[in-house]
Structure 1
Amino acid sequence: MPIIHKIIEVETSEGISIFNITPQIDEFLQDTGIKNGQVLVFSRHTTTALAINENEERLLEDVKVYLRKLAPETDKYLHNDLHLRVVPEDEPMNAHSHLMSMTLSTSEVVPIVEGKLALGTWQSVLFFDLDGPRKRTVFLQISGEY
């Protein structure tokens, strides 16, 4: 069974950014020729996350509001005591972003059936950057049969 991987890049904007990466995953799948199997989608950063949900603009805004309520940027967090730990000079105070990431997920697995992602009608693979703007990467790994 072949196992093929690829890294996709996402340039994000300030604060919480949500991107539908389903088209990039589907393009990679088509390039592999795999007909049946699965694709692992893995977020490679501690302040990013993934989810499978509806890519609807107003819902995505609701998600941002919800996440900000769960971990407000203005709350006091021990992780933000930068003077008490060794950090790079440009280290942001981003404990809230780490907490949001842990609330979501760092990976998703999508079945591949007859050469297509077996997502439901309204489902998309969504990538969340919770601490932008940054250049981010997402690891894709497809395994299956031709």
Structure 2
Amino acid sequence: MPIINKLIEIETEPKINIYNITPEIQDFLASTSIKNGQVLVFSRHTTTALAINENEVRLLEDIKVFLKKIAPESDSYLHNDLHLRDVPEDEPINAHSHLMAMMLTTSEIIPIVDGKLALGTWQSVLFFELDGPRKRTVFVQISGE
């Protein structure tokens, strides 16, 4: 069974942003000969996440508001006491971003059927930047036959 890997690179905008990476995954799948199997999508950062949901502008704004309510940037967090730990000079104050990421997930698995992602009508693979701007990578692995 072949296994093919790829990194998707994303240069993100400041703060919380949500990116639809479905087209990049579909393009990668189309470049392979895999007709049936699965795609693993894995976020490689502790302040990013993934979800499968609807890529609708107003819903995406609702999601951002919801995440900010769960872990407000203005709250006090021990992780933000940078003077109490050994950190690089450019270390951000970002405990809220780590906590938001924990409420989502770091990976998704999508079935491949007849050479296509078996997503539902309104489903998209969404990448969440919770601490931008940054250069990010998403690991994608396709396996099957």
TM superposition score normalised by structure 2: 0.99
Tell me, in whole angstroms, the C-alpha distance in 1 between the residues paired with 2:144 and 2:125. 19
Instruction: List alignment gaps of at least 5 residues for structure 1.
Output: none
Tell me, in whole angstroms, the C-alpha distance in 1 between the residues paired with 2:63 and 2:121. 20
Tell me, in whole angstroms, the C-alpha distance in 1 between the residues paired with 2:52 and 2:33. 23
Does residue 1:70 correspond to 2:70, yes or no?
A: yes
1:32 aligns with: 32
Aligned-pair RMSD on alpha carbons?
A: 0.3
CA deviation vs aligned residue, 1:74-107 (integer Å, no higher than 9, x gap): 0000000001111110000000000000000000
TM superposition score normalised by structure 1: 0.99
1:23 aligns with: 23
Instruction: List alignment gaps of at least 5 residues for structure 2.
Output: none
| Residue 33 of structure 1, CA deviation | 1.5
Tell me, in whole angstroms, the C-alpha distance in 1 between the residues paired with 2:60 and 2:41. 20
Tell me, in whole angstroms, the C-alpha distance in 2 between the residues paired with 1:90 and 1:33. 44
1:107-126 matches, within 5 Å, as: 107-126=107-126
2:47 aligns with: 47
Tell me, in whole angstroms, the C-alpha distance in 1 between the residues paired with 2:71 and 2:33. 42
Q: Secondary structure at the match of 1:49?
A: strand
| Residue 133 of structure 1, CA deviation | 0.4
CA deviation vs aligned residue, 1:25-44 (integer Å, no higher than 9, x gap): 00000001200000000000
Percent pairwise identity: 79
